[in-house]
Structure 1
């Protein structure tokens, strides 16, 4: 189990290396357009899987660099979701091999990995929601779907992202851009 958690953390670090985390490279108009598009595209996922929309939009901003990363712009993959055994899973339509960085306790190195490709951005949000809602380690977060801040804290505590400030960064984005406005109280798991 511990090795699996370490492998997942390594995959997340690698995905962040591919997707980029810079948020300053987009103009205010591009940022607003990304937020509005993401808010519209995340709604079906929030309704179906229960992940607060504000959390998913903030994660998409952080993990895709406002949708400007190569993975986001070329494959509509906003979360660095990888293909397992070169299989895209139930929502993605294909896999693409891209350069990335992998890290473990001994350091980081450059390599290539297979990432999911989506037909539309809405599918990236759906796959993200499916992943969180069906992964046992994130179950505690779903006790807090009405409190987006607590939800992301619990997701982070469960091992999503290795950055010790990850939850703080997501909460800052949710506050800075009033992403809470996208949350629905009707979401279900």
Structure 2
């Protein structure tokens, strides 16, 4: 597990990004490359702080936030779909919890529910919480020994991260289609 002090983390996390320009890019034509261009440097900073593949970070943020266009990412700056621990416990990085309708498939069958999701002050905070969670939760411990192999890493993460059996394949397809492994070099 990697431990990093706040001063060291601040040294690798890029300065705050203009939220309006990120949203505008996500809504414009060519929004995919604009989103990747914005998310890539943040993912590299998260790699520097937590030693997890930047390619996986970008691809998961694409899938979870619909290229930064989901209601959760636009309103709450939550790019990974992270829920609150309890309705009033957003964790150490998020600011608050916000209720949104979603679909849960455990227990089966899939059914609509209202769930509380983390709300962040910035895109960087959302990505930082992703890095923190993947490197501190026992749910993802099996992924850490293979962090030098983005495909193996996301396959290990997906076992606990998502209920969709195709989740890892979807992330890998995004990594291939948009050459996201360039952020790991």
Identify whether the pair has TM-score above 0.5, normalized to the shorter chain: yes
For residues 106 and 145 of structure 1, the distance between their equivalents in structure 2, rounded to whole angstroms, comes to 32
Match of 1:150 in 2: 152
Calculate the TM-score normalised by the size of structure 2: 0.79
Q: Render the CA deviation track for 1:121-176: whole Å, top value 9, x for unaligned.
A: 1111111111111112322211122211111112123x221111111111111011
Conserved? CA contact 1:26–1:66, under 8 Å = no
1:49 and 2:75 are equivalent in the alignment? no
With a CA cutoff of 8 Å and minimum separation of 6, indicate the structure with the bigger relative contact order: 1
Q: Render the CA deviation track for 1:6-42: whole Å, top value 9, x for unaligned.
A: xxxxxxxxxxxxxxxxxxx976511111101010222
Match of 1:83 in 2: 84
For residues 155 and 72 of structure 1, the distance between their equivalents in structure 2, rounded to whole angstroms, comes to 21
* SS in structure 2 at match of 1:73: helix
For residues 166 and 71 of structure 1, the distance between their equivalents in structure 2, rounded to whole angstroms, comes to 19
* SS in structure 1 at match of 2:105: strand
Match of 1:70 in 2: 71
Conserved? CA contact 1:76–1:121, under 8 Å = yes
For residues 181 and 33 of structure 2, the distance between their equivalents in structure 1, rounded to whole angstroms, comes to 15
Query: What number of residue pairs does the alignment pair up?
Result: 159
For residues 172 and 26 of structure 1, the distance between their equivalents in structure 2, rounded to whole angstroms, comes to 22
Larger mean CA deviation between 71-80 and 175-184 belongs to 175-184
CA RMSD for the aligned pairs? Answer: 1.8
Calculate the TM-score normalised by the size of structure 1: 0.78
Query: What's the offset of the Cα at 1:106?
Result: 3.6
When residues 28 and 143 of structure 1 are mapped into structure 2, their CA distance, relative to the original with a 3 A threshold, is farther
Spell out the pairing of 1:1-189 with structure 2 (5 A cutoff): 29-85=30-86, 86-157=88-159, 159-183=160-184
Q: Render the CA deviation track for 1:23-82: whole Å, top value 9, x for unaligned.
A: xx9765111111010102222221111221100110011111111110011111011111
Conserved? CA contact 1:141–1:155, under 8 Å = yes
- Unpaired segments ≥5 residues, structure 1: 1-24, 185-189
For residues 151 and 27 of structure 2, the distance between their equivalents in structure 1, rounded to whole angstroms, comes to 25
Query: What's the offset of the Cα at 1:93?
Result: 1.3
For residues 111 and 142 of structure 2, the distance between their equivalents in structure 1, rounded to whole angstroms, comes to 33
For residues 52 and 105 of structure 2, the distance between their equivalents in structure 1, rounded to whole angstroms, comes to 28
